[in-house]
């Protein structure tokens, strides 16, 4: 997909600020500069590698030498010298390993090189590196000669793997894992899918990975990230200049939290900072409405109004006295009042909940977040999905926030199928309904039709607690009111939610972290 000149609404993802990998992100409120991390597929990386060689003009051997140098520099920062085992395949990843072996020999290391595969079918660069090593005291072997090494380097496959690891390669990975030593993967742990992070039968579990050019998606997704260890991205000469208008389809925020916030005018008032309507909380589910309202305020909303069951009024008035309260009879007027609408947290699936969702879709024109039970109701109604898609086509900003269970109902697929490639199916839903989709999992992905996706790298498993999604929905409503753009609001909300979760877990511990702690942390992040 050529996105070099593509207009993707208020959110524009462009290569304008080259210093320190900064890009420009625009929205209606103005222009701010953000630092992002690109996450690339194997196909994208191959294209950028080829562009660097053929169009930029940096020779392939230079890129290989710089890759090896970056790995050598990483190791030199951790170890003085010692014994090294290099597990090398027959492709260019193996060539990187051979080049690193030579550099380690020059640094005084004792190096053993364990080659797996048919040397007659090796890549040209591999053969050239092997020829150079004939002038060095490298020890080649068919199996490891020791039980322990100072370092062990995985250069077996790299990013090119796309099938199950079997035979001698599976045996090599098993033997490699059994030997003791600090394990460093070059570019990607062998056996991990570069795009999805899935494990192809067997994989190296590294202590660290030095990846070249740009971070591979498989290093960010589970379970691949658990096999990568510490990840260092080495700039070896493959840069944004190599995109030639075809930018990566995924990124993650790296900017400090304060820099991500929408600008807050000094002369603003409560109406300036967003009026949020929450349709949330059935009987005995006051907590969902409470958490969403509190998070919305902590994220910076000027006013929050909650349409909820009458049984929840006292609880909400006590816990969030700042919130306005309304009944379902006031829904039509409230839709006009609001700058953004959030429906679903704790809503239930009764007739009243379904009627509220229909009303919000039929009569609301403002930006909309559909969460939790709102999604379950939506999954059961093709008619509501068709109406939503029509509104998305006409430009209404709509965000769906399904976790994998809710997404499975919307897509009529099993959770297991979705987890094989969550990005693929979230994108499919975004295209079908013409909406933004924030697909929630251990790594939440925000997708929209016709533009790059945002992967959240923040957060922790302490956030897997009741009410955490309600906090996200409330924060997202505020950002949607302030930015007027579904993708911007969703991607920023997910980022803030994850970072607030990290702050809360640091204070309360992973075991003791509660959704209310995350909501409170949002306010401290926004200082």
Do the Cβ atoms of 306 and 331 come closer than 8 Å? Answer: no
Helix (H) or strand (E) run with residue 511 in it: none
In the numeric block, which tokens belong to residue 421?
């490639």
Q: What is the pLDDT of residue 313?
A: 94
Strands 208-212 and 230-234: parallel
- Per DSSP, the three-state class of 200 is coil
CATH architecture of 257-525: 3-Layer(aba) Sandwich (3.40)
Q: Which pLDDT tens digits describe the chain residue by residue (527 residues)?
A: 333 333 322 222 232 232 233 333 333 333 333 478 999 999 999 999 999 999 999 999 999 999 999 999 999 999 999 999 999 999 999 999 999 999 999 999 999 999 999 999 999 999 999 999 999 999 999 999 999 999 999 999 999 898 999 999 999 999 999 999 999 999 999 999 999 999 999 999 999 999 999 999 999 999 999 999 999 999 999 999 999 999 999 999 988 888 888 888 889 888 889 999 999 999 999 999 999 999 999 999 999 999 999 999 999 999 999 999 999 999 999 999 999 999 999 999 999 999 999 999 999 999 999 999 999 999 999 999 999 999 999 999 999 999 999 999 999 999 999 999 999 999 999 999 999 999 999 999 999 998 999 999 999 999 999 999 999 999 999 999 999 999 999 999 999 999 999 999 999 999 999 999 999 999 998 77
d(CA 179, CA 152): 9
Nearest-CA neighbor of 277 among 258, 243, 244, 302? 302
Q: Provide the phi-psi class of 93: left if phi over 0, else alpha when psi is between -120 and 50, else beta.
A: alpha
Q: What is the pLDDT of residue 9?
A: 29
Q: Is 386 exposed, middle or buried (0-12, 13-18, 19+ CB in 10 A)?
A: exposed
CB atoms within 10 A of CB 196: 20
Q: What is the pLDDT of residue 32?
A: 34
Q: What is the pLDDT of residue 259?
A: 85
Total-model pTM: 0.90
Residue 192 DSSP code = B
Q: What is the pLDDT of residue 255?
A: 86
Residues in a beta bridge with 12: 26
Strands 303-307 and 275-279: parallel
What dotted CATH number matches 43-248? 3.40.50.10260
Domain ranges of the chain: 43-248, 257-525
SS (H, E, C) 243-298: CCCCCCCEEEECCCHHHHCCCCCCCCCCCCCCEEEEECCCCCCHHHHHHHHHHHHH
Q: Is 223 exposed, middle or buried (0-12, 13-18, 19+ CB in 10 A)?
A: middle
Do the Cβ atoms of 231 and 457 come closer than 8 Å? Answer: no
DSSP string, 329-351: GGHHHHHHH-SEEEE-TT--SSH
Q: What is the pLDDT of residue 262?
A: 85
Do the Cβ atoms of 375 and 406 come closer than 8 Å? Answer: yes
- Angle subtended at Cα 258 by Cα 253 and Cα 259, rounded to the nearest 5 degrees: 55
Q: What is the pLDDT of residue 298?
A: 97
């Amino acid at each position: 997909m050529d996105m070099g000149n593509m207009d993707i609404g208020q959110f524009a993802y462009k290569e304008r600020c080259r210093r320190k990998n900064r890009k420009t992100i625009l929205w209606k409120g103005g222009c701010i500069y953000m630092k992002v991390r690109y996450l690339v597929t194997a196909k994208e990386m191959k294209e950028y590698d080829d562009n660097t060689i053929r169009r930029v003009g940096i020779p392939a051997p230079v890129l290989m030498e710089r890759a090896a140098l970056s790995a050598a520099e990483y190791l030199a920062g951790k170890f003085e010298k010692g014994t090294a085992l290099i597990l090398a395949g027959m492709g260019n990843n193996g060539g990187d390993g051979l080049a690193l072996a030579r550099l380690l020999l020059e640094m005084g290391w004792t190096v053993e090189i364990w080659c797996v595969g048919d040397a007659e079918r090796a890549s040209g660069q591999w053969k050239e590196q092997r020829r150079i090593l004939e002038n060095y005291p490298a020890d080649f072997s068919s199996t490891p000669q020791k039980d322990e090494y100072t370092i062990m380097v995985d250069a077996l496959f790299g990013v090119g793997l796309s099938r199950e690891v079997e035979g001698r390669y599976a045996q090599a990975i098993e033997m490699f894992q059994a030997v003791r030593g600090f394990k460093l993967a070059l570019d990607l742990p062998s056996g991990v899918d570069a795009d999805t992070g899935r494990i192809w039968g067997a994989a190296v579990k590294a202590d660290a990975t030095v990846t070249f050019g740009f971070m591979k998606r498989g290093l960010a997704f589970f379970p691949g990230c658990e096999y990568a260890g510490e990840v260092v991205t080495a700039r070896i000469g493959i840069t944004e200049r190599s995109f030639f208008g075809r930018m990566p389809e995924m990124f993650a925020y790296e900017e400090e939290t304060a820099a991500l916030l929408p600008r807050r005018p000094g002369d603003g008032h409560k109406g300036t900072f967003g009026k949020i309507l929450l349709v949330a909380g059935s009987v005995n589910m006051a907590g969902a409405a409470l958490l969403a309202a509190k998070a919305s305020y902590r994220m910076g909303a000027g006013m929050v109004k909650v349409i909820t069951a009458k049984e929840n009024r006292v609880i909400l008035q006590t816990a969030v006295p700042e919130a306005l309260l309304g009944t379902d009879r006031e829904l039509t007027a409230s839709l006009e009042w609001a700058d953004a609408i959030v429906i679903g947290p704790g809503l239930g699936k009764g007739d009243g909940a379904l009627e509220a969702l229909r009303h919000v879709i039929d009569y609301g024109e403002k930006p909309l977040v559909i969460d939790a039970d709102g999604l379950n109701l939506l999954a059961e109604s093709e008619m509501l999905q068709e109406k939503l898609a029509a509104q998305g086509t006409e430009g209404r900003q709509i965000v769906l926030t399904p976790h994998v269970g809710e997404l499975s109902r919307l897509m009529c697929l099993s959770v297991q199928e979705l987890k094989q490639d969550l990005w693929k199916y979230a994108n499919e839903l975004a295209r079908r309904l013409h909406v933004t989709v924030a697909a929630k999992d251990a790594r939440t992905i925000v997708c929209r039709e016709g533009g790059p996706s945002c992967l959240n790298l923040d957060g922790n498993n302490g956030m897997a607690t009741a009410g955490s999604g309600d906090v996200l929905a409330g924060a997202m409503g505020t950002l949607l009111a302030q930015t007027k753009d579904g993708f911007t609001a969703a991607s920023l909300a997910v980022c803030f939610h994850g970072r607030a979760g990290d702050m809360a877990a640091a204070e309360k511990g992973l075991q003791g972290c509660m959704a209310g702690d995350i909501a409170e942390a949002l306010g401290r992040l926004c200082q």
